[in-house]
Homo-oligomer: A and B are copies of this chain.
Amino acid sequence: MKIVLDAMGGDYAPQVTVEGAVLAAREYDIEVILVGREEEIIEELTKHDTRGLNLPIVHASEVVEMWERPAEAVRAKKDSSIVVGMGIVERGEAEALVSAGNSGGVMVAALLSLGRIRGVIKRPALAAVYPTLRGFCVLLDAGANADCKPEHLLQFAFMGKCFAEVLGVKNPRIGIVSIGEEEIKGNELVQKAHQLLKKSDLNFVGNVEGKDIPFGLLADGRGLDVVVTDGFTGNVILKLSEGVSKALKTLIEEEIKRNPISKLGGLLAKPAFYRVRKRTDWREYGGASLLGVDGVVVLTHGRSDSIAIKNAIRLAKRLVEGKVVENIKRLFDE
């Protein structure tokens, strides 16, 4: 399998991207095509033992910066790593693209280059893997479409189902984010989408409240695999979860340091805290996938380190192996 990595994307590129590629090529026995400024990539590669690894470089002289306006940047920078990398996938010379770069830019390039799957009526949706107490949920849209219509949410549900199935979930249970359990609760968008979901042949389990998402459970204890919402709410959910978790950890540290006994306690409990951190670490989950475009595209945090990059490549590999694009196509053909 060949996976394109945007070697210039993210806050710590190309250092962590190249390192992540090395780790992934070694661990998953795949070819990772590094797209970006050749000299810089070579310089990073020399820091690693790459014997026996398949890490070809494709030169791209430009970079879409994190702060640039996506549409303009993608149109102006034809020789950027994002555009050149997407071209490789478009020509069928690789099966997927992974980027920690300007997410809007990746989305625009994917649409222009790979195009939408027939039947997808909106921009593609960003499906994120959201860690829960039970394991994970697929949350979508995580930020690609700030304004949605009810039928978009229905499509997100179908795409989320395919995504969850590739991750090993059978007959995924699908919920919609709302502000009360009853179907009359929520804003207009959610109330209407609820009815569409109810009428569909999806395994729809009803409204999910904010308090239940981190547990991956509905209020009545039923499990939850896919959480559907508009891109505005989805993005707030993702970022707020990260924020609350970080704030709480800061608070615990502050309070533990306040006296020597609890400090000792904190020290003894350190391995436990480490496991908590690992179980809630977004880096373990490999980022988010752009669903609805005709190809596998995985986006990850701009702040990604090499582990996060490696895990994003693993997610791309799984999505290719699980034929997520083909499955979405089949579902939308019906």
**Residues of chain B lying within 8 A (CB to CB) of residue A233:** 232-233, 236
Q: Please state if A272 and B256 are interface contacts (CB–CB under 8 Å).
A: yes
Interface string of A178-202 (1 = CB under 8 A from B): 0100000011101000000000000
Does chain B have a CB within 8 A of A252?
A: yes
Q: Is the CB of B210 within 8 A of A238?
A: yes
Q: In the complex the two chains form, is A146's CB within 8 Å of B273's CB? A: no
When distances are taken between beta carbons in the complex, the residues of chain B under 8 Å from A214 are: 240, 243-244, 246-248
Q: Which residue of B lies closest to A191 (CB)?
A: B146
CA distance A190 to B231 in the complex (A): 13
Binds B, one of A22-30, A77-85, A112-120, A259-267: A259-267
Say yes or no for A250: interface residue by CB 8 A criterion: yes
Contact A255/B276 with A147-B187, A179-B143, A214-B246 known, Cβ cut-off 8 Å: yes
Q: Is A63 among interface residues, defined by CB-CB distance under 8 A?
A: no
- Say yes or no for A54: interface residue by CB 8 A criterion: no
Determine whether A99 belongs to the interface, using a CB cutoff of 8 Å to chain B.
Answer: no
CB-CB under 8 A from A261, the residues of chain B are 268, 271
With a CB–CB cut-off of 8 A, which chain B residues contact A210? 235-243
Contact mask A87-125 → B, CB, 8 Å, 1/0? 000000000000000000000000000000000000000
Residues in B neighbouring A246, C-beta threshold 8 A: 211, 214-215
Decide yes or no whether A213 CB sits under 8 A from chain B: yes
**A247 partner residues in chain B, CB cutoff 8 A:** 132-133, 214-215
Interface flag for A170 (CB, 8 Å): no
Q: Mark A125-164, 1 if CB is under 8 A from B, else 0.
A: 0000000110000000001001100000000000000000
Contact residues of A: prevailing secondary structure = helix
A65 interfacial by beta-carbon distance below 8 Å: no
Whether B237 lies near A236 (C-beta < 8 A) is yes
A330 interfacial contact with B, CB 8 Å: no
Asked whether, in the complex, the Cβ of A187 is within 8 Å of the Cβ of B232, the reply is: yes
- Return chain B residues, CB-CB under 8 Å to A177: 236
Find chain B residues with CB under 8 A from A251 CB: 133, 276, 279-280
User: Which residues in B have their C-beta under 8 angstroms from that of A76?
Assistant: none
Q: Which residue of B lies closest to A234 (CB)?
A: B179
Known: A146-B188, A232-B233. 9 other contacts (CB 8 A): A146-B179, A179-B235, A214-B244, A237-B240, A251-B279, A255-B272, A255-B273, A265-B265, A269-B269
**Contact sample, A vs B, 9 pairs, CB 8 Å cutoff:** A209-B243, A210-B242, A211-B242, A212-B243, A213-B243, A240-B244, A244-B244, A255-B273, A266-B272
